[in-house]
């Protein structure tokens, strides 16, 4: 198991965060986000307990939070984590087709990671950009009014970059 714990620099960042709240546990959501950022987008074993200690709360509390929110992941995500909105209205403006196309092209169902660890796919609810439908979010980057051809090109480029 890899080492669990923040570097000194990140600890400093976390401590400035704590100063913004009456209690350390209030900062649990942003601290978990930082933990994921430091671990390629997910929370490997042991990090829940580490964050609980840091935020002065219990392991069960942290686990309850991790499982409640969509954005916390307890299994690895791909280098490119793709979220496709199929909510209302995107789902009726091409979002569903985008998801099906990605599933087909990547050979995985929503909720999974490609065997090479490059891509993971997630069907998402409204992302507050419905005028840009259909759309996908790759890590933090929102790709708007995307066409199936653009998706193909993007996948090819992302794969080529790795190779």
Residues in touch with ligand FES (CB under 6 A): 85, 87-90, 126-130, 133
161 binds, among ligand FES, other proteins, none (CB under 5 to 8 A by kind): none
Task: Pick the piece of the chain touching other proteins (CB under 8 A) from 4-12, 39-47, 63-71, 108-116.
Answer: 63-71
- Would you say 127 or 148 has its CB closer to other proteins? 127
SS3 sequence of 94-133: CHHHHHHHHHHHHCCCCCCECCCCCEEEEEECCCCCHHHC
User: Given phi > 0 = left and psi -120 to 50 = alpha, else beta, which region is 134?
Assistant: beta
Would you mind telling me the total number of residues written for the chain in this entry? 163
Give me the least distance between CB of 94 and ligand FES, in Å please: 10
Of the listed pieces 1-9, 80-88, 106-114, 155-163, which binds other proteins according to CB under 8 A?
80-88
Query: Alpha-carbon distance 73 to 59, whole Å?
Result: 16
111 binds other proteins (CB under 8 A): no
């Amino acid at each position: 198991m890899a080492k669990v714990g923040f570097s000194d620099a990140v600890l400093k960042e976390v401590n400035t965060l704590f100063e913004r709240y009456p209690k350390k546990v209030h900062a649990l959501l942003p601290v978990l986000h930082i933990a994921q950022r430091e671990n390629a987008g997910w929370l490997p074993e042991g990090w829940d307990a580490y964050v609980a200690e840091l935020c002065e709360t219990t392991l069960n509390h942290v686990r309850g939070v991790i499982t409640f929110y969509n954005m916390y992941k307890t299994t690895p995500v791909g280098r490119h984590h793709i979220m496709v909105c199929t909510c209302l209205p995107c789902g009726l403006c091409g979002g569903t087709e985008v998801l099906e196309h990605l599933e087909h092209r990547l050979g995985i169902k929503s909720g999974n990671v490609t065997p090479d660890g490059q891509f993971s796919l997630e069907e998402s609810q409204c992302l507050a950009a419905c005028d840009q439908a259909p759309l996908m979010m790759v890590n933090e980057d929102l790709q708007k009014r995307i066409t199936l051809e653009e998706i193909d090109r993007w996948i090819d480029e992302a794969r080529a970059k790795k190779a």
